[in-house]
Homo-oligomer: A and B are copies of this chain.
Amino acid sequence: MVNFEFHNPTKIIFGKNTISQIGKEISQHGFKNILLLAGHGSIKKNGVYETVIKSLQENNITVTEVWGIQSNPILSKVNEAIEIAKTKNVDAILAVGGGSVIDSAKSISAGYYLDNIWDAYESKVEIKQALPLFTILTISAAGSEMNKGAVLTNEKEQKKWSLVHPLLFPKLSIIDPSNQTSLPWNQTANGAIDALAHIMEFYFLGKQEETTLALNESLMRTIVKTTDKLKIDPTSYDQRANLAWAATLALNGISGSMLYGDWSSHQIEHAISALYPKVAHGTGLAIVFPAWITYVHQSNSEIFQRWAKNVWDSETVEDAVKKMKAKFTEWNVPISLSQLNIKEEELLKLSEIAFRKGTLGTLKELSQEDILKILKLAL
């Protein structure tokens, strides 16, 4: 069993009608002039924006708004926001949205003190300072609200890469699951798959880590169960809350304690959404992960069999993969590249992009040829 560190200083406020606490919280930290980052306006429709602004105003906090963060967020937009943050001399950032908004906010918070934030993604400069970050989560999926990671796409270079640094932990994240009751189904399902995938990236490295393995199985089963219930009743507060908290725990350090992570499925998926930015991250993972499992499971067969039995009630890994794919289909999520109209002749290019940083994987090291084979399985 490997040694590990666990340190997660993010404060979570979770529950109904909690968003109105944001102004007081930011004010108590001593910040008065913030950048508010958001997506394309759904928060204006569900009342979140109004609640946030009222709370900020009541606490005399000056706000500069930057809108238009897209899913699979891009570097040029982050750079634009950094310039605005500098001009306005803000002292903190408030992200109101899902993983894309929060990851962009993390990039802005570190980029504020760098000549070029992409250099940090390329590991060419070290992050030494970052603007304090607060978040209001509106889509449970990425787990970014309670971790130190961010993913960003350099759209010119077709690179979708990640950055990890302790200064990127949000100070505070507010999660009010009642704001997710109006989410479109595909976002709910993609979010659930993203959370499942985060747990699987750690889980399959397991051997003797009973505490974390059993805990991760309980989270995986819970995610499947609550998503099924949300398919029947998307407005259930309790099920939204269960899925939201499970998605946070899926990538806040708890699911990864005692274990290394693999992350090759994520990196292959990042190649897909770098080249085809309209593919949702969760959908990409729904396509890649079953193929990866099929390709690598013999490298640690005991744990894959345990997963088959304890999560999918299956006797074989093959059967569990089949059930997982059937579940994603039941959730109306594509499970093959063909369903996205990606053709076999495009796979080489995809494998090149995925391989750009070299060998992938921890459980099984993947060459570009291996990646190509996995992509073919995913076709």
Contacts and interface: CB of A to CB of B under 8 A. Distances in A.
Nearest to A245: B211
A18 interface: yes
A86 interface: no
A242 B2 contact: no
Given A211-B249, A214-B222, A238-B208, A14 B3 contact: yes
Nearest to A146: B6
Contacts of A33: none
A340 interface: no
Contacts of A8: 8
Question: By CB atoms of chain B within 10 A, which of A5, A9, A209, A219 has the most?
Answer: A5
A226 interface: yes
Interface in A3-19: 3-16, 18
Q: How many copies does the complex hold?
A: 2
A221 interface: yes
Given A3-B15, A3-B18, A11-B5, A222 B210 contact: yes
Contacts of A249: 211, 215, 254
Contacts of A245: 211-212, 257-258
B218 A222 contact: no
Contact of A214 (B2, B212, B221): B221
A218 B218 CA distance: 6
A257 to B, nearest CB: 7
Given A211-B245, A218-B215, A4 B15 contact: yes
A236 to B, nearest CB: 9
A49 interface: no
Interface string A219-238: 10110011000000000011
Contacts of A217: 218
Contact of A5 (B14, B211, B242, B246): B14
B238 A1 contact: yes
Nearest to A176: B3
Contacts of A14: 3-6, 257-258
Interface residues of A, number: 43
A245 B217 CA distance: 16
Contacts of A6: 11-12, 14
Of A15, A214, A219, most B-chain CB atoms within 10 Å: A214
A10 B258 CA distance: 17
A241 interface: yes
A239 B211 CA distance: 9
16 contacts: A1-B15, A1-B241, A2-B15, A3-B16, A5-B13, A6-B11, A7-B9, A8-B8, A14-B257, A210-B225, A211-B245, A214-B218, A214-B219, A218-B218, A245-B257, A254-B254
Complex A-B, nearest 9 residue pairs according to Cβ-Cβ distance, in ascending order: A3-B15, A7-B11, A214-B218, A218-B218, A208-B238, A6-B12, A210-B242, A211-B246, A211-B242
A11 B3 CA distance: 14
Contacts of A7: 9-12
Contacts of A218: 214-215, 217-218
Contacts of A214: 218-219, 221-222
A307 B215 CA distance: 16
